[in-house]
Amino acid sequence: MSDWLLETRGLTIQFGGHVAVQDVTFQLKPLTFKSIIGPNGAGKTTFFNLLSGQLRPTAGSVFFKGRDITGYSVHERTRLGIGRSFQITNVFPNLTVLENVRLAAQAKGGAGYRLFSHYRVFREFEEKAYHLLEQVGLRAKSEQPAKQLSHGDKRKLEIAILLALEPELLLLDEPTAGMSLEEVPAIIELIRSLKESGRHTILLIEHKIDMVLDLSDSLAVLFNGRLLADGTPAEIMHNQQVQAAYLGGLYEDAIKT
């Protein structure tokens, strides 16, 4: 049995003459919180797409709990326990907040979508959905169409949908992207609560350095598609290669706050 929940070996993807991710060997321990940082164009989202199955690598392998899942589809990886959020919210806009989460719970429970069945048939899934909406702070908005939610609340809903699928691994791709300053603290606290629950391994892409330093057990730095460094937040922030390639003067700002 592998010591790693998630592992990549020599992971590479090339688009024409451009190598977006190059020879990345990476490990993630169970029940830890790791963030991936790096400048725009470093390959972070492409790397996530390789982990979640949206893209197939040109070379290298992806392992989940010791199993080679390189050839697995997105749905196969989801069934294994990998949940992925996106930079752009991914919800059903014309369904209610409750229905979005309930359908995910049904899918996880093997009941499928069955859109023409009366929802009372699925009482257990409805109760699970209400519980998750309470957890993310959307219980009072359960009957609203998802399209009426603010951007920040749509992010919360997307996380509730992910949780309904009961993932072991959460891949969160810039969950605060596009939010107003007023909305950011609630999402940070929600992610903190997920970490403190002790039920999930979390891999986060985020540009907000203060958030990353506060939440992460470890950081991985991508630069030009390569893994530049991997270590504790303190190790990364003191790494001269990282400072030169990416952080610049942000380190001094971060340690003052």
Per-residue pLDDT of 83-96, as tens digits, reads: 998 755 678 999 99
Tokens at 213, concatenated:
């330093």
Using alpha carbons, list the distances in angstroms from residue 132 to 39, 128, 215.
34, 6, 22
Tokens at 188, concatenated:
């940070």
Local confidence band at 107 (pLDDT 50, 70, 90 cut-offs): confident
> What is the pLDDT, as a whole number, of residue 24?
98
Rounded distance, CA 230 to CA 177, Å? Answer: 24
Alpha-helix runs per DSSP H in 38-183:
44-52, 74-80, 97-108, 123-136, 151-164
Under DSSP, the state recorded for 147 is G
| Structural domain spans, the chain | 1-81+168-257, 91-166
pTM: 0.88
| Mean predicted lDDT score pLDDT of the chain | 89
Could you report the per-residue pLDDT of 19-55, keeping only the tens digit for each?
999 999 999 999 999 999 998 889 999 999 999 999 9
Could you report the per-residue pLDDT of 137-172, keeping only the tens digit for each?
999 999 999 999 999 999 999 999 999 999 999 999
Rounded distance, CA 167 to CA 73, Å? Answer: 16
The residue whose two tokens read 């350095």 is 209
User: How many residues does this entry show for the chain?
Assistant: 257
> What is the pLDDT, as a whole number, of residue 249?
47
1-81+168-257 CATH: 3.40.50.300
Residue among 228, 242, 247 nearest 21 (CA)? 228
Tokens at 59, concatenated:
């070379």
> What is the pLDDT, as a whole number, of residue 112?
53
* Rounded mean pLDDT, 61-75: 97
Local confidence band at 1 (pLDDT 50, 70, 90 cut-offs): low
Under DSSP, the state recorded for 57 is -
- pLDDT of residue 181 exceeding 70, the answer is yes
8 Å CB contact between 126 and 164: no
- pLDDT of residue 109 exceeding 50, the answer is yes
Residue among 101, 108, 90 nearest 126 (CA)? 101
